[in-house]
Amino acid sequence: MKTELFQYLKNPLYWAVIGLGLSFRTVLAYFDRLYREPQFWELAADFWNKTGSVTVGFLTLLVVIHRFSYDVEVGVFSAINSTAYGRLSLFWNRLTSGGLAVILSVLLLYAGNIGVSFFWGSKISMPYGWIRSFTYTTAITLVGAVGYFGVSAMICDLTKNHPIAMCLCGLPFASSYFVNAGAVKSFDVFWFFRYGFFTELVRGRAIVSLPVFWLIWYFVLISLILFLTIKERRGNKEL
Amino acid sequence: MNLTLENICKLFGKTVALEKINLSMSSGVYGLLGPNGAGKTTLMKIMTDLIPPSTGRVLLDGQDITAMRAAFREKLGYLPQDFGVYPNFTAEQFLLYIAQLKGLSRYEAKRQTDDLLVMVGLEEKAKKKLKGFSGGQKQRVGIAQALLGDPEILILDEPTAGLDPEERIRFRGIISNLSQQKTVLLSTHIVSDLEAVANKVILLKKGTVLDVKRPFELLEQIEGQVWIVTVPTAEETALTKKYACSNVMHTDGKSVIRLLSESRPHPDATPTAPNMEDMYLYYFGK
Amino acid sequence: MPLIWNEARKQRAFREVWVGYLLAALLLFVFIYNDSGSLTVDLKNSWYLIQQDIHRYVGALTAFLLVIGLSRLMCYETERNTSGLIGTATHGPNLTWGAKVGLSILYCVVIVLVLGIVNLGLHGALIGFQDAFMPASNCVYFESVPLTNITFCAVQYVFLLLGALYFAGFILIVATISKNTVFTISFCGGLCLASFGYQFVLSFRLNGMLGQICGFIFRFSFFGFMQLESYRWSSIIGWTGQWENVWKPVLFVLSAIIFEFAVLWLLWRRKAKT
């Protein structure tokens, strides 16, 4: 698992995406300080809603899940599949280390946003409990990010095709940003787009509408994808 | 027709891939022999105008091939080393596609495609998708596409890779028939292929040409330097460490070693006629 | 023409393209279904609402299909190790460039045509094509247009096609330079998302010089044209433009398309270094 984790951390794209996200946040924070000083800390707390969640989404789709189709792309799949630990245990290792990489990225972005906000907003008084509140939203983001990574990784493993996985997982993730929560009704198609693909959680928002339903939904979604992945691996003698 | 390489050098950053290559080729089969990393593929890519040389030029009948552009490619047939195909094309569709790119008319493309599929023994698989082809079958498709358009210059990079012995013999027959009117340059690690078809062998090591000779002339150079000796297995290591060995066979607790040495390496050693593998070892062995 | 069909045959092997078609069809169905209620309720403003289809989702769907469908087109030869064959065939580089560009143009036309027919057809049918041939009274982007409702909506799809060609050229350039499908999808898809993010979120937050620069870039970018914002040609985005000035953005986008394909030609004809 250490080797797999280092593969993620050695990838310059991993750091480039995180760096890009934080750079964008830095620029936005600067303009927030210039033009929207009274709302500065409110906007800082809103980090996961836009910049942070987009960064995590990009990191997951572009960098982290690629490991699951990389062997097939470069032609080493057969060789790895023929080794003692190259099948299921490698899959679990990659899933675990990928999850850890995603958690690390969330923590880095969390620390980065706090640093940037403190830097630009040092002269603006911080509301009481801001850090506690931001940490709470980060915890929600963490759960969402890990869940999103898990499902995306399994889809990438199922299809063994990175562009397809990006398509299947990216479109529902992205479309959630464009769905107006106030205008959707429960059990509407757009309601599922908005809340059903981890985006709401990655944006740091707990789903308060029918939480039990969504708990069951996510459980079923993850279980179903896992079941399909294991079934496909069994069929292809990759277990 | 004369293909000339004048002072070809190729640098990749600070790495010298090719250094002052000067060659002249007319019709016949030329084998390009060298270890991995010698620069064979790079040289072939320069000769096919796929990559530019850092210095020097390639001339066809006195004209720079870079300036000739399509006129040069009209006379060229190329099989790259890592030959790829479109998996959802059938063999026939793939050859027809390449024929179109080579500027053949529809009628001529169909005629040559059918003839070449027969020549490489794939007429029954013409309508099958390439994704179902074995490595050897794909290689035969590669050879067929190189021959489309009846090119005067054939440059084949590892053409027999993945072919079984029967297919290799068939390939040698094809090349031998073509060699009368064409310039064929083929690179391979299978030295027996060169011995069978090549008129001349170009030895390339670390980007420089060591020698250009006929196969028998190269063998003559190491005449009297190839020995066979049978020793107890315990003595094997000492000999193999000291001399370049082209073969070691174990039988009845003894080792039969074939090695290279200017003088008799062992009291029991007997001289034997050299082969191309011995020659390869002589020039490229450590 | 046969070579374009060969390129189309290659494109049929791109698995992500089929996934893209499926997702786009699903989303299109969802959007149309969602729209059906508001169209039939507010008949007086139906054509005004239909005008905004491209702005609301058709532009985004078109961009998505272009990114998914074209990213691999220029990278395929490198990925499949056939670039040596193409490069050494007599007319290989020229004919392949022509075929790929031809397919890209055809692909843009087909996407816009299908999306346009489906949208206009279904939305028009929902309101019984009422007032279709009446002069367009209320326009989103222009103060007034001398066209009927349905003609103006159709003309908007022509504008979308120009924007799509503009974006397609960019995708092909990125793919030719990078020779990496995933990078091309991510980069072009990321630019897409960033543009939509700017249009719907950031444009209200960015002030001063930065806001003007971003607005200028957006206005002359592919997304500005695909979202039809750039055809207004007004001094400030958000205000309606004059129909008499529409030839200016059309001329710009045509020039940009020609420039892009010229650059693509030069890049495609570059020799490999290794």
* pLDDT tens per residue across span B110-122: 999 999 999 999 9
Contacting residues of C for A58, CB less than 8 Å apart? 186, 190
The pLDDT tens digits of the residues spanning C130-143 come to: 888 888 887 878 88
User: Is C81–B103 a contact, with Cβ atoms under 8 angstroms apart?
Assistant: no
| Nearest CA-CA partner of C70 in C33, C106, C121, C23 | C106
A194 to chain C, any CB pair closer than 8 A? The answer is no
Q: Take residue A83 and report the two structure tokens written for it.
A: 């080794």
Contacting residues of B for C102, CB less than 8 Å apart? none
Question: What pLDDT is recorded for position C35?
Answer: 76
Question: What share of chain C in percent tops pLDDT 70?
Answer: 95
How far apart are alpha carbons A49 and B77 in whole angstroms?
A: 58
Strand partners, B24: B4
Question: What pLDDT is recorded for position A78?
Answer: 78
Which of C16, C200, C210 is nearest residue A167 as measured by Cβ atoms?
A: C16
How far apart are alpha carbons A37 and B268 in whole angstroms?
A: 96
Question: What share of chain B in percent tops pLDDT 70?
Answer: 100
In a domain, C228, yes or no: yes
Query: What is the chain C residue with the closest CA to A74?
Result: C79
Contacting residues of C for A50, CB less than 8 Å apart? 197, 201
Mutate to test the interface with A, among C11, C14, C186 (most CBs of A within 10 A): C186
Q: What is the band of C244 on the pLDDT scale with cuts at 50, 70, 90? A: confident
Q: Which of A177-191, B216-230, C186-200 has the lowest mean pLDDT?
A: A177-191
The pLDDT tens digits of the residues spanning A42-69 come to: 999 999 998 999 999 999 999 999 999 9
Q: What is the band of B194 on the pLDDT scale with cuts at 50, 70, 90? A: confident
DSSP state at residue B129:
B
Which of C2, C81, C91 is nearest residue B82 as measured by Cβ atoms?
A: C81
How far apart are alpha carbons C203 and B52 in whole angstroms?
A: 48
Which of C15, C68, C206 is nearest residue A31 as measured by Cβ atoms?
A: C206
How far apart are alpha carbons C83 and C270 in whole angstroms?
A: 12
User: Is C15–A175 a contact, with Cβ atoms under 8 angstroms apart?
Assistant: no
User: Is B103–C91 a contact, with Cβ atoms under 8 angstroms apart?
Assistant: yes
Maximal C-alpha separation, chain A: 62
pLDDT at A41 over 90: yes
How far apart are alpha carbons B275 and A63 in whole angstroms?
A: 53
How far apart are alpha carbons C33 and C31 in whole angstroms?
A: 5
pLDDT at C158 over 90: yes
pLDDT at B286 over 70: no
pLDDT (mean) for B196-222: 92
User: Is B45–C84 a contact, with Cβ atoms under 8 angstroms apart?
Assistant: yes
Which residues of chain C approach chain A closer than 8 Å at the C-beta? 14-16, 19-20, 23, 27, 30, 33-34, 60, 64, 68, 71-72, 181-182, 185-186, 189-190, 193, 196-197, 200-201, 205-208, 210
Q: Which of B10-14, B257-261, C42-46 has the lowest mean pLDDT?
A: C42-46
B67 to chain C, any CB pair closer than 8 A? The answer is no
Query: What is the chain B residue with the closest CA to C79?
Result: B84
Mutate to test the interface with C, among A37, A155, A167 (most CBs of C within 10 A): A167
Contacting residues of B for C3, CB less than 8 Å apart? 97, 100-101
Question: What pLDDT is recorded for position C274?
Answer: 67
pLDDT at C201 over 80: no
> Looking at per-residue confidence, does B43 or C207 come out higher?
B43
Strand partners, B11: B16
pLDDT (mean) for C227-236: 78
How far apart are alpha carbons B137 and C212 in whole angstroms?
A: 61
Distances (CA, A) of B194 to B58, B136, B185: 24, 19, 11
Question: What share of chain A in percent tops pLDDT 70?
Answer: 99
> Looking at per-residue confidence, does A176 or C119 come out higher?
C119
How far apart are alpha carbons B226 and B66 in whole angstroms?
A: 45
pLDDT (mean) for B13-38: 93
pLDDT (mean) for C168-179: 95
Whether A40 and A136 have beta carbons less than 8 Å apart is answered as no
Regarding the domain delimited by B3-217, which CATH topology (the fold level of the hierarchy) does it fall under? Answer: Rossmann fold (3.40.50)
Question: What pLDDT is recorded for position B145?
Answer: 93
Q: How far is C195 from chain A (nearest CA, A)?
A: 13
How far apart are alpha carbons B212 and B205 in whole angstroms?
A: 12
The pLDDT tens digits of the residues spanning C71-86 come to: 999 999 998 889 999 9
Other C-beta atoms within 10 Å of C154: how many?
Answer: 14
Which of B12, B50, B103 is nearest residue C88 as measured by Cβ atoms?
A: B50
The chains found to touch A (3+ Cβ pairs under 8 angstroms) are: C
The pLDDT tens digits of the residues spanning C38-67 come to: 766 666 678 888 888 888 889 999 999 999
Contacting residues of C for A177, CB less than 8 Å apart? 197
Q: Which residue has the tokens 């000083």?
A: A37
Which of C10, C91, C273 is nearest residue B101 as measured by Cβ atoms?
A: C91
Q: How far is B98 from chain C (nearest CA, A)?
A: 7
Contacts by residues B63-70 (CB-CB < 8 Å, ≥ 24 positions apart): B70/C90, B70/C91, B70/C94
Arithmetic mean of pLDDT over chain B: 91
The pLDDT tens digits of the residues spanning B124-143 come to: 999 999 999 998 899 999 99
Q: DSSP assignment of C96-163, as one string?
A: HHHHHHHHHHHHHHHHHHHHHHHHHHHHHHHTTTTTTTSBP-S-SSBS--SSBHHHHHHHHHHHHHHH
Q: Do chains B and A touch (3 or more CB pairs under 8 A)?
A: no
- Strand ordering across the sheet containing B55-60: B15-25, B3-12, B55-60, B63-64
Other C-beta atoms within 10 Å of B241: how many?
Answer: 8
Beta-strand relationship, B28-33 and B208-213: unpaired
Residues of the domain holding C48: 2-268
Q: What is the band of B22 on the pLDDT scale with cuts at 50, 70, 90? A: very high
ipTM: 0.76
| Nearest CA-CA partner of B9 in B56, B51, B49 | B56
Task: Label residue B101 exposed, middle or buried (CB < 10 Å: 0-12, 13-18, 19+).
Answer: buried
The pLDDT tens digits of the residues spanning B146-181 come to: 999 999 999 999 998 888 888 888 888 888 888 888
Angle CA C195–C200–C205, to nearest 5:
95
Contacting residues of C for B15, CB less than 8 Å apart? none
Q: How far is B66 from chain C (nearest CA, A)?
A: 11
Contacting residues of C for A174, CB less than 8 Å apart? 193
At C91 the three-state DSSP class reads coil
Q: Which of B7-21, B263-277, C138-152, C164-178 has the lowest mean pLDDT?
A: C138-152
Question: What pLDDT is recorded for position C271?
Answer: 74
How far apart are alpha carbons B188 and B35 in whole angstroms?
A: 10
Total number of domains in chain C: 1
In a domain, C85, yes or no: yes
The pLDDT tens digits of the residues spanning B65-75 come to: 999 888 899 99
A190 to chain C, any CB pair closer than 8 A? The answer is yes
The pLDDT tens digits of the residues spanning A7-27 come to: 899 899 899 999 999 998 998
The pLDDT tens digits of the residues spanning A167-195 come to: 899 988 888 887 777 767 788 777 888 88
B187 to chain C, any CB pair closer than 8 A? The answer is no
Mutate to test the interface with B, among C1, C15, C85, C100 (most CBs of B within 10 A): C85
At C132 the three-state DSSP class reads coil
User: Is B101–C90 a contact, with Cβ atoms under 8 angstroms apart?
Assistant: yes
pLDDT at C236 over 60: no
Q: Which of A122-126, C185-189, C240-244 has the lowest mean pLDDT?
A: C240-244
B44: part of which helix (H) or strand (E)? helix B40-47
Q: What is the band of C260 on the pLDDT scale with cuts at 50, 70, 90? A: very high
How far apart are alpha carbons B152 and B148 in whole angstroms?
A: 11
pLDDT at C235 over 70: no
Arithmetic mean of pLDDT over chain A: 90
Question: What pLDDT is recorded for position B47?
Answer: 94
